[in-house]
Structure 1
Amino acid sequence: MITFTPSISFSWGGHATDVGLSNLSNNFLYASAVVLALAMMSFALDLAGHPGRMARAAQRAAEAAGTSVEATTSEATSEATAGGGSGSTAVLERTSEKPSAIPEKRQWAGIGMSLSWLGMLLLAACVGLRSASVGRLPLGNMYEFAIVGAFFVMCAFLIWSLKRDVRSLGIFVVGPTLLTEMLAALVFYTAASQLLPSLKNYWLSIHVTVAILSVAFFTIAFSTTILYFVQKWREDIKDTKYTFMDAVPGSEVMDRTTYGLLIIAFPLWTFTVIAGAIWAQKAWGHYWGWDPKEVWSLVIWVVYAAYLHARATAGWSGKKAAYIALAGFGCVLFNFCVVNIFIVGMHSYSGM
């Protein structure tokens, strides 16, 4: 049940933290999670109906072909009688053309996309209210990083959907986003508070925002990499059992999609590392101190650089490149979930 707690403010570092707005932000997060769960179910129903949808389309094509043959038979006879073989040949050529099947409207996919837009707007309200409750950008701890990251993932996916038909990928993007929201609410949650003095710098907005955006692209690329492996496996065994996955593009398309996403993400992560070094010099007097967070940020950069280098120079694609992409995202997860929580360093700002 959605509740609204009366606004109670207390001072922390100069700015009053509005608990009421913070609680309302939490409610919008819960609402977004519910809506995205419904969106995921809609996308699942769309995939489940794919075999039947294709069968009905094939049946309509066959019926259309049968009607075409019957309609042209009398025409062929009359033209052959009147004009000889040339008329008959022309009509038979027209008869042999296969009519294109009219695809069935994907109602559940449309519902899933509509719910995805709604879930994204609710998540935007969550982020906005969290920001308003503390009077700053919500970038100060793991909870805020998670909700902003989930918002960026949905924004990237939905903007992508305006250019391409990505409805078949919906469940594989909305699913990780929903998981992130659940982790944010149940594991990473930190009460709204002011920043530590060391974080009160304009580089926070620049460095962390770009880092979250790059991780959003890394996350979508992880989903497409997993889909690459699934589709490649199905193609190798000539799968006829899991036909609902025929709605998802093949392995080659997933491989190229992953490559395109990482081409966008890598420069963003490069800027993240550089901006972090500049901020470190201003805050601590040195550009690089081999802090655990710095080390793992560099590891992520090296792994994804190796991925792009292998594709550009050695011509790697397919499984070999996909394994490197998976290793890169494994490093991203380790950096976020392990380094932030369990390894003490100068970047210990998780808030947990």
Structure 2
Amino acid sequence: MNLAATTNESMAQMSNTLIYSSMAVYTLAFLLYIAEWVLGSRSKVARTAAALTGPEAAGTAPSVTVRAAAGGTAVLDRPKVVVRSAAGTRDVPDGPGAAGGTAKGDLYGRMAISLTVLAFAIQATSVVVRALAVQRAPWGNMYEFSTTFSTVAVGAFLGFLAAKKNVRWIGLPLVTVVLLDLGVATTVLYTSSDQLVPALHSYWMWIHVSTAIICGSVLFLGAVGTVAYLLRDSYENKLANGGKPSAFTTSVMERLPSAATLDKFAYRVNAATFPLWTFTIIAGAIWAGDAWGRYWGWDAKEVWAFITWVGYAAYLHARATAGWKGRKAAYIALIAFGCFLFNYYGVNIFVSSKHSYAGV
């Protein structure tokens, strides 16, 4: 096949221009996310401290509200004292978000989200134009995989926002990683639009690789939630033990959801994605059977895909095992995501494999 004849170079160049344009808009969004976190008012430590220890520990006596019930009988409403649950979680209120509840911070945050939507639209258009330029699925090499990967990650984030989920705190780390991802893609990983390994000429490329991209993008959001959970849990532990975090730590941590909420978010994301990752491996095996005459050959990419699957299976099992919930399970989740990253970058770049299609 003459690949050059099937490539529209002007459209390919247009796709590259759109990628650079999206990077410029993401940079503006990044600066606004920074402003959202820095210029919003600093939340006070008293809210979480009082929730963890009760009003007595905060130096105030518990108040009692007297109200009249039917028949004139006085009823005492005593305040709820929040305690650590048996599972190790805490009934702690979620933070108000990165803005800390201030009008100025909220304005910067809404502007950042608007620019993120615009950058996402430009980047998604770039992926579509690339597909039209090469007349195939736009993820035939690491450059295309990377640009599509970050597009789907941002799309998933915006989808959570549209569903009214408390995930605006993901905006800053997400845009930071997206800029790094696109920076590496347009420099180190860039591949011309007419390069395609013959084994990738298959309809399974649309099925197998697309599901891998979706899984990786959503698992990335779960990993961000896991890291945030570990940080917030350490913060809550310090408060519960009478410690006094720094003003900066307090400002950041009080704007995040509680550790229990972050843990639940990460678990639900990872658990929902695990079946799709299972399907990804199965689809890859079927494609290998068509392309190479065997379903499994212990190729490096296959092995690390399976190791990633085992890692997330161990995480889900740990979540259901007494004594392994919380931080221990979170560490397993991060190790599993690390395996996914190595499967993506390490195998393609450093390991000789039938799947090494990067050309770098």
TM > 0.5: yes
Residue 152 of structure 1 deviates from its aligned partner by 0.4
Say whether 1:201 aligns with 2:209: no
Corresponding residue for 2:251?
244
Corresponding residue for 2:267?
259
Decide which of 330, 337, 340 is 1:329's aligned counterpart.
337
Contact 1:146 1:184 (C-alpha < 8 Å) held by counterparts: yes
Whole-angstrom CA distance in 1 between matches of 2:36 and 2:196: 44
Contact 2:127 2:147 (C-alpha < 8 Å) held by counterparts: yes
RMSD of aligned Cα (Å): 2.8
Corresponding residue for 2:9?
19
Q: 1 or 2, which has the higher helix percentage?
A: 1
Contact 2:3 2:194 (C-alpha < 8 Å) held by counterparts: no
Corresponding residue for 1:142?
142
Residue 47 of structure 1 deviates from its aligned partner by 1.4
Corresponding residue for 2:325?
317
Corresponding residue for 1:38?
28
Give 3-state SS (helix, strand or coil) of 2:6's partner: strand
Residue 16 of structure 1 deviates from its aligned partner by 2.4
Corresponding residue for 1:151?
151
Corresponding residue for 1:85?
none
Give 3-state SS (helix, strand or coil) of 1:189's partner: coil
Residue 15 of structure 1 deviates from its aligned partner by 4.2
Label 1:240 to 1:292 Cα distance change in 2 as closer, same or farther (>3 A). same
Q: Which has the larger radius of gyration?
A: 1
Gaps of 5+ in 1: 1-10, 56-88, 94-100
Residue 104 of structure 1 deviates from its aligned partner by 3.9
- TM-score by length of structure 1 reads 0.80
Give the letter aligned to residue 21 of structure 1. Answer: M
Give 3-state SS (helix, strand or coil) of 2:7's partner: strand
Whole-angstrom CA distance in 2 between matches of 1:301 and 1:53: 40
Q: Once the two structures are superposed, what CA deviation does each residue of 1:226-256 show, in whole Å capped at 9, x if it has no partner? A: 1112212222233242233111112221111
Contact 1:17 1:133 (C-alpha < 8 Å) held by counterparts: yes
Corresponding residue for 1:268?
276
Give 3-state SS (helix, strand or coil) of 1:12's partner: coil
Corresponding residue for 1:284?
292
Residue 197 of structure 1 deviates from its aligned partner by 2.0
Give the letter aligned to residue 206 of structure 2. Answer: S
Gaps of 5+ in 2: 46-71, 77-95, 240-244
Whole-angstrom CA distance in 2 between matches of 1:203 and 1:300: 21
- TM-score by length of structure 2 reads 0.79
Whole-angstrom CA distance in 1 between matches of 2:236 and 2:25: 34
Whole-angstrom CA distance in 2 between matches of 1:320 and 1:25: 43
Corresponding residue for 2:119?
119
Say whether 1:175 aligns with 2:176: yes
Whole-angstrom CA distance in 2 between matches of 1:197 and 1:45: 48
Give 3-state SS (helix, strand or coil) of 2:353's partner: coil
Give the letter aligned to residue 45 of structure 1. Answer: A
Contact 1:17 1:192 (C-alpha < 8 Å) held by counterparts: yes
Whole-angstrom CA distance in 1 between matches of 2:30 and 2:251: 15
Question: Among the aligned pairs, what percent are the same residue?
Answer: 39
Residue 276 of structure 1 deviates from its aligned partner by 0.4
The count of corresponding residues between Structure 1 and Structure 2 is 305
